């Protein structure tokens, strides 16, 4: 189960299931639906097996031949080498505490949480200071030794991602300490049409990237839209080879 | 001199000179050169009158009919209602102390400084915590009462901006507490072909926007480029009307 995933061209499929913890929410569900539509095998995790299966059923409504199942979080997290964590920031610590017994060395945890002040009843256009510097760095501190945290998917609109007919055309900033790990996550992200993964630097760069979500939420309110982000000047090469 | 600038369509010129403090550096000089090429009257400010005039001469090399002059900072800052401050962050406080005697109520100061750790010998891919929250908020604290600070031009590459033949195609995130003030600055920014001004929110949003510079510097090193930023999903309307 924990073998390196065999991909290279970005056009091949990932051979193992992709667990998405918190995929009952819009961000995780949108990712699940779009990856399922790209032919990936998806495992939706939730605190409730019933809600997990219900979310899986909703994926099958959009993608009739989807390979998707809904399980409790701890069962889901065992099912693939790269686990996405898409819960709200206020639930991040609780989830990571629960996953501590489950995650194994060599697994990658993709932390998608954003510490907006909404987590404590404040404005989503403002952020919380996280002691470790960022939610991703907090996650790195909380996972078992040998588990690598990658930060990603902060700037894509959960609403857009979860609307089956909405077109995407934006970048995902990927933060992590080893390029090879980031590349594995990038290959999954780029299975979603319209998403490009950009190497944003070491995990500590999540301090900056996570904040951009609040900026975009502020832009959304002002422009009545669901904004995303594109980095200009990168050229069309594959930077993950 | 301090009357509101008369513009509306974005195609009209700004009628008053545009002072750019620190335009001997790449960012300010690039802005000066491109606004001069757009037909604007530019006043380059520097601590040295000689260096200011030398920078103005370099603008005239690119734009032979440029309306540009080089003056000492305090003289330059009196020449127009909207003053750009394009000095390095480590020189921001000194410059604002000097300008305190010069700036007058109703003037707008466009702060373009970015508190990267390079200001204290650290990495430009990391940022400093500024007590007030951001360089722009520090500037707001330091300017005389009645002077409005707007944060802008953090994410455009100084190198690209200062290369006369380089094409731009990116957004400038504009932070400030009143839309009318941001709109005046936006009109100037959008006189530069290839730049679009996006209303990024109140001045406190500069906390986030200034950090993005460090992110882009990190991306530049990795991708061997001069990256910029675009916000997707905004549509083509003029949002400043």
pLDDT value at B6 more than 90: no
Q: Output the pLDDT for position B37.
A: 98
CB contact under 8 Å between A223 and B208, yes or no, is: no
Q: Do A125 and B205 count as a contact with CB atoms less than 8 A apart?
A: yes
Q: What is the mean pLDDT of chain A?
A: 93
Beta strands in A1-76 (DSSP E): 18-21, 41-46, 67-72
Residue contact A207–B205, C-beta within 8 A? no
Residue B105 phi/psi, 5° resolution?
A: -50, 145
Q: Which pLDDT belongs to residue A14?
A: 74
Q: How many CB pairs under 8 A join A and B?
A: 108
Residue B20: HSE in the Cβ half-sphere, 13 Å Cα cutoff: 34
Q: Which pLDDT tens digit goes with each residue over A190-211?
A: 999 999 999 999 999 999 999 9
Q: Which of B199, B231, B234, B235 to mutate to test the interface with A (most CBs of A within 10 A)?
A: B231
Inspect the interface and report whether the beta carbons of B234 and A212 lie closer than 8 Å. no
**CB-based contact B200 A212, cutoff 8 Å:** no
Of B134, B136, B233, B238, which to mutate for an interface test with A (greatest number of A Cβ within 10 Å)?
B233
pLDDT of the residue at A238: 73
pLDDT at A158 over 80: yes
Would you say B44 and B24 are in contact if contact means Cβ atoms under 8 Å apart? yes
pTM of the predicted structure, to 2 decimals = 0.90
- pLDDT, average across residues B184-190: 97
Q: What percent of chain B has pLDDT over 90?
A: 91
With CA atoms as reference, report the closest residue to B41 among B62, B59, B25, B22: B59
Residue of chain A nearest B179, judged by CA positions: A222
- Among A79-93, B8-22, B96-110, B128-142, the range scoring the smallest mean pLDDT is B8-22
Residue B21 has pLDDT above 50, yes or no: yes
Phi-psi region of A194 (alpha: psi -120 to 50; beta: other; left: phi over 0): left
What beta strand segments (E) does B14-87 contain? 18-21, 41-46, 67-72, 82-85
Interface mutation target, options A208, A217, A218, A227, chain B, most CBs of B under 10 Å: A208
The nearest CA of chain B is from the CA of A206 a distance in Å of 9
**Tokens 């995407």 map to which residue?**
A168
Task: Name the β-bridge partners of A41.
Answer: A67
Phi/psi for B167 (5° steps) reads -90, 140
Inter-chain touch A233–B157, beta carbons under 8 Å? yes
Question: What residues in A contact B127, CB-CB < 8 Å?
Answer: 208
Residue B239 pLDDT: 77
- Alpha-carbon distance A224 to nearest alpha carbon in chain B (angstroms): 8
pLDDT tens digit string along A56-111?
A: 999 999 999 999 999 999 999 999 999 999 999 999 999 999 999 999 999 999 99
A213 CB contacts (<8 Å, ≥6 apart)?
A114, A116, A154, A155
**Cβ-proximal residues to B227 (8 Å cutoff; 6+ apart), any chain:** A231, A232, A233, A234, B157, B216, B219, B220
């Amino acid at each position: 189960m924990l073998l390196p995933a065999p991909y290279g061209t970005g056009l091949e499929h990932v051979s193992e299931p992709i667990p998405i913890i918190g995929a009952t929410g819009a961000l995780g569900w949108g990712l699940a639906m779009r990856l399922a539509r790209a032919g990936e095998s998806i495992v939706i995790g939730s605190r409730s097996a019933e809600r997990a299966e219900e979310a899986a059923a909703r994926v099958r409504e959009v993608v009739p031949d989807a390979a998707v199942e809904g399980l409790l979080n701890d069962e889901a997290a065992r099912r693939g080498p790269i686990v996405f964590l898409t819960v709200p920031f206020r639930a991040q610590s609780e989830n990571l505490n629960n996953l501590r017994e489950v995650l194994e060395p060599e697994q990658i945890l993709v932390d998608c949480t954003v510490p907006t002040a909404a987590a404590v009843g404040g404005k989503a256009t403002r952020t919380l200071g996280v002691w470790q510097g960022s939610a991703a760095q907090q996650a790195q501190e909380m996972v078992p030794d040998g588990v690598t945290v990658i930060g990603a998917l902060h700037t894509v609109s959960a609403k857009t991602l979860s609307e089956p007919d909405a077109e995407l055309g934006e970048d995902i900033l990927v933060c992590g300490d080893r390029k090879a790990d980031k590349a594995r996550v990038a290959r999954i992200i780029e299975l979603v049409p319209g998403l490009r993964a950009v190497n944003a630097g070491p995990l500590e760069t999540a301090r900056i990237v996570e904040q951009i979500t609040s900026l975009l939420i502020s832009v959304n309110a002002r422009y009545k839209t669901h904004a995303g982000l594109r980095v200009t000047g990168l050229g069309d090469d594959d930077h993950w080879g």
